[in-house]
Structure 1
């Protein structure tokens, strides 16, 4: 059986159960297909996201897309702040000398459309914000990983939105609470294996599209600390476990620094598009 290259986790039309699948048509943007109601077909994957093989004799239809990795498989969500040159400049902050690291709990993990981004009452003050980010999943456990070996630890890449409550963020130097609210880390719609992406340092376009308007338009080649450096740094004296997720930073154009400012409001649509991966689509819902 062949190894998968474009992995989705989904509820199937045929049996209403959760499955792993390999996209039949890898050229399609399944995020927009799901949003627009176009049929999505997937070969079943036998095994886990880490060791699965494609059964080309079994094809199922997607009823609902889920985050590519299940919460119980995600050991830790690590995130980088101020990791793009232009974003650091728009923040009026000096370029960091080392990666700025914060974390999100597993309860922050969210799904693609039709799942929503929930904004709890604590963040319903007009400062909830988007951040388009390349997300990676670690495929094997490692510690003190050399830069030259770092990409060997990457299972694949997907889109993510580092949803942030800016009022809470600006009140303290620690960002984990303001960026760790439930559902504040939607990822997806497809995990593209590292072999099909290559080294992101060579350049992947990254966009955030808010209610149809492109508000972020960056490229991974502009990262201050590239993927190799991130993995090597985060694994210094610290075990990076299989299933760990890393959010790699956002380019400039976040809502808080735009003029006029943009904030996520009830009923808004926010899309994260990354070259070679596709589009993560979510609607925003204020919790009662």
Structure 2
């Protein structure tokens, strides 16, 4: 029977099963929705089975559909791994690299240079600071920032770079609020926090200490947090290198507390396979070398 079934039909069915949407599956596969729908219909016709129950409101896998999905999922994964491994025998990397990462200039340079060095790599990149767990499916690599312990997931987390951080305050705000001496006192003054990234709140400090802070200014941007801190809108945790000039010229004051903030860490997360895909391994090596070069500047 396998000679009557095309691989793309199975890949389209797998994507639709995972997304429960022809439209979202088509976006993931980067093909027209009509093609994905036709592939599933041809597969059902060939097997003479209904694999997905469709209504105007929702889509539900049948028992036959669930059985087929759980059977082909590990096979397609193993096949993809094999193709990646075979590509290592060639002179250059080949494949489709799918990444989620923050929209930051230095990361943009790293990705562009990698693709320039590997012209047979096709790139799909989504820029987000805090991708949800379900969104990660279908991507090879996720770059994200963390402060403190990461949440448990089925992904392998590799530390790429670490930035020591400090708590700062503008002089004009310090005139209204005495300088905190402890993290408990810090919890009683206005602070600038992230909206959803870096776990938002609580704030994380060394030795596993955390505090809830008062905040009327929540942003998913280090630059916006720094700008707000300079305006005196609140105390902020910032990477030390990002505010050392402002501390030197007096625009910001460093707050010495009984516990130092946790470092800001850039993590690379990839699927928890027995080994990373060749394209992922190559990109991680390129990223690490690029970050080392940046530190030397």
The TM-score range, normalised by the shorter chain, is: under 0.3
The one of the two structures with greater contact order (alpha-carbon pairs below 8 A, sep at least 6) is 1
TM-score, normalization: structure 2?
Answer: 0.24
- The structure that is strand-richer by fraction is 1
TM-score, normalization: structure 1?
Answer: 0.24
